[in-house]
A and B are shown apart, each in its own frame.
Chain A
């Protein structure tokens, strides 16, 4: 009797009971509906569905055509904003890629060529040397030389031009909003959910309204990129300002700083290293967006990847894809070096201008020199096409060889995974009746994070059901759930291994960098060739993309364990195995949970890409809405994805908090 009571009180009882009930309802929901003749069990009653998508479409139509803000229309306003971005963008693009000209369209008369390839490489090498040392300079130089040698130069410069424009705007906006959130708690509360939505609503969902309001072409792509890439900068700015030590702030107050001086002379300089991390994030996210941006007119490397794969030129797609990776690595290392750069010593006053600014002077010399030389020798201006390399048909041939020889093996592996894992999980999720889904979601969130979280989770789940997208959302949960599980099962051991062994770490880190910056479309098409269209292919693509955070956070968690703890374990006679399971893993738990959180976020962000290989989930809904230019439906489906992400994020954050407090208590 006592034993039974203990079992009932144990926290695990709730979870087991919830799972059992869910499983039973999922299995028998269909017979139940037939027996009771109650169709509402499996389908949300359509008369209660909220036609939010219709309202949203109407709203955007109104904004686009009729909205009048007394002195000008709403569209005049958005067009004005886009012209603000367009002018600097055109100049930078002319400087990097197209050359300067006067006149429009095909009547344009060229005035001056763009920067020569030698000048661009020199500038980057100089930045590398300035930021850290010759090693970095050599790496950055080699990366950009690769672009020239593989014939990716022109497209790469178009992409670089959009990075050069997007990053300062993103950083300035992010810092500005970050400063406001730092000053006002109320503003912070207001912006937080908006930032969540900006990061989790798939970009495809708002491409159409952005196009309509901001016009066609690169500017719309830049604005979509900014919506996606700015939120991390806001968060990091807030965090950076908040973590400035109070002594520094006090010192500022003592010397009588005004509010403005306090911000620009005290807070921002001391928060600089952290702020630079944000800059780095904005650069990386901007590069992540190049494929999607190229779909709406940004051109550049993203367009090359897309059009190469549309004609099944696997090699061409891989070359352009790796050009993005190489550029991302160069810009990432460069911006990281800038964030860690110690302030340079002030040069003696008696040094001349020339001596104080060696890099500025030499850059000017190279830019002007190559421009003049380029007028005589074209190879100085443009890398000669005859010297470019290409992998040619190597990749297609390799893929064909694998396809012809190993397809049956792959087929067997795929069938195994489908029958053992994917199909049962799919059946489980798609059977869950919507009403019970809302209840169990709310209860689970309540148990973990309190009643507020429970209420929010239940409300968001209700939104999904009331939008008529319950079935699609369950397919989404299944596909993401399975992919996250597999990514985590591969990623965490890999991360633990990398965390304990420096050499493994350097290799694993390089692979993870590549996987995260290589546009997923590059490997999606080869995977389709080997595994056909279907859920399994989608799962592989999601796992490949979502692997990185699982590995990184696990490695980070293991590495940041206090060495005294490990010594204590060794002294008390732990075997290596016990040391891992009893000491290292529990101590790394908060980090592991954070990794899981990020893995889920990345998996969800891949949904829209996997829609390209024929999944039937929310990502597909967003994609269909995009191809039909159905603004409202796209946004509603995008919000459903965002809500799933937000629920997962909040629950895992709560879990991570409680595990941290448990660790501190112990």
Chain B
């Protein structure tokens, strides 16, 4: 039982990272009808930006803010360079462009930093605290705390502000949004910046737990993608719950069944969902929002 509680905590912590990246997937998908295959690279680039900032002697918080600003800029450039020129084409050229951008980002970082993984320290000096039988790792606590704040912010932003409603309107019917005077290109720009920052935040938060490596982006992206399928593609709540569920499932799977197959459990669940419930947990609601 103690072990189960410990695993639940760790699972939710790692699942929160998947949830943040999955949220980025969903927001871009809803705004552009395209899956952004470079979403994972946003996490990877942000982790490297963080390493650069720390190496340059910035305090942790300053490096953190600088990295997020860098991600906002990357999101804007990504929109202008990858999505915007192809926005009137079908989804296929756009998807291929995001795959291309993902390869470009990974190899640019590889060219600068080499294949050697980097180490990023956690935010806190204290490694963690013991609460009863469960050891709460400080970095996982931070991840969970930030994710909770972001989920609340996300809800407030999309449900309670007029700008959030304009973003939703744009994702539901671009032509009608433009007829009302909503600047569709601005809304899509905001979506890309926001999603890049979300992905970046996930990367920075998870970096002290994993190593900072070129491959971390694709690993996180695959898990986050699986999370969006499990939650119901295109659904915000589904992405978050799918991410958390996936984190918990793979942590338990690793502990009770097999450690080497840890990554395999995520995909086993993904395949099971694709066969038995392709619409995901919140599938029906997607149809309503489509």
The judgment on whether A and B are partners is no
Residues of A bordering B, CB below 8 Å? none
Residues of B bordering A, CB below 8 Å? none
